[in-house]
Amino acid sequence: MRSILDYIDKNPQAVVSQSIHDLAVTTNTSASTVVRFCRTLGCDGYKDFQRELIYELASMGEGDDISLDDITPNDVAARVVKKVMNSNIRSIEATERLLDIPTLERCAIAMVHSRIIDLFGVGASLLAARDLQLKLVRADKECHVYDDWHNQMLCAKNMHKDDLAVVFSYSGMTREMIEAARFAHKRGAKVIAVTRALGAGRLCEEADWVLGIAASEPLVRSAAMASRMSQLMVVDALFAVYVTKDFERCTNVMRHNYDEKK
């Protein structure tokens, strides 16, 4: 286990994006040894250890390593493309490892049983909300999303107890999204938050379930890049699991829609 500890001590940011098998190969150990190491530290397993590591890095001010590599004036276009691709890949891989599967399944079941699904987001997070809306419409699930913030607030204030709100906010601290979640709860609706896995944002306090994405970018940034890709990855996973929970109806509807297009 000493080799694992030494490697993590020297490469903590790399471990956040590594699978348990990659870490085992790198440290010349086995997956079972890595699991024993994690449990020795009081973690339930490797994924739990990765979460704790991210929290620790964030508290040390190093949690932004999985961000867009610094672009320099001397970078040629091909190098810029490579940096963007690497940033997106690392963010998606970290999000996949941090995503809590039982919570994801509970969210999908809530979607199946909800009367209406209302989606909320501003800025780049609105793009993720729009993407989920397009998928749900294809499956003939009634859902709403509005570009205008005032309409989003009206939507939240008019939700029913058997409705479901899905609120997107990378930071978890966007005032409008916190208010939307709060009003949805006041109306008795359930709330899913898609936000940073650190769970430090106030949005998490208003949510019934949190689907965490990797803390891949600083909160003050020029534009959402890797964080947007992580949100879309969660949207894809959530929708795919939703389809499995209502498989016959969803597949029949989507097959009908495909036939209509022809």
In the predicted structure, residue 99 carries a pLDDT above the cut 80? yes
Q: How many CB atoms lie within 10 A of CB 166?
A: 32
| CATH at 3 | 1.10.10.10
Percent of the chain's residues with pLDDT above 90: 50
CA 126-234-128 angle, 5° bins: 15
Asked if 99 contacts 48 with a C-beta cutoff of 8 angstroms, the reply is no
| 116 and 217, same domain (yes or no) | yes
Predicted local confidence at residue 63, as pLDDT = 42
With CA atoms as reference, report the closest residue to 15 among 41, 45, 42, 49: 49
Count of domains in the chain?
2
Is 157 contained in some domain? yes
In the predicted structure, residue 82 carries a pLDDT above the cut 80? yes
Is 51 contained in some domain? yes
In the predicted structure, residue 129 carries a pLDDT above the cut 60? yes
| 48 and 108, same domain (yes or no) | no
| 154 and 36, same domain (yes or no) | no
In the predicted structure, residue 218 carries a pLDDT above the cut 50? no
| Listed residues 63, 86, 114: the one ending a domain | 63
User: Tens of pLDDT along 1-59?
Assistant: 788 988 888 888 788 778 999 999 999 999 999 999 888 877 788 887 887 776 666 54
Is 19 contained in some domain? yes
| 139 and 19, same domain (yes or no) | no
Asked if 187 contacts 162 with a C-beta cutoff of 8 angstroms, the reply is no
In the predicted structure, residue 249 carries a pLDDT above the cut 90? yes
Predicted local confidence at residue 234, as pLDDT = 95
| 166 and 241, same domain (yes or no) | yes
| 129 and 256, same domain (yes or no) | yes
The beta strand positions in the chain, using DSSP E, are 117-120, 143-145, 164-168, 190-196, 209-213
| 113 and 49, same domain (yes or no) | no
| 24 and 112, same domain (yes or no) | no
| Listed residues 42, 63, 84: the one ending a domain | 63
pTM: 0.72
Is 255 contained in some domain? yes
Q: 173 lies in which domain range? A: 98-261
Predicted local confidence at residue 254, as pLDDT = 87
| 132 and 246, same domain (yes or no) | yes
Is 91 contained in some domain? no
Is 69 contained in some domain? no
| 33 and 148, same domain (yes or no) | no
| CATH at 256 | 3.40.50.10490
User: Tens of pLDDT along 165-205?
Assistant: 999 998 788 889 999 999 999 999 999 999 986 555 688 88
Question: What is the layout of strands, in order, in the sheet containing 164-168?
Answer: 143-145, 117-120, 164-168, 190-196, 209-213
Q: What distances in angstroms separate CA 241 from CA 93, 111, 112, 246, one per listed residue?
A: 18, 10, 10, 9
| 6 and 130, same domain (yes or no) | no
**What kind and span of H or E run contains 26?**
helix 20-26
| 51 and 138, same domain (yes or no) | no
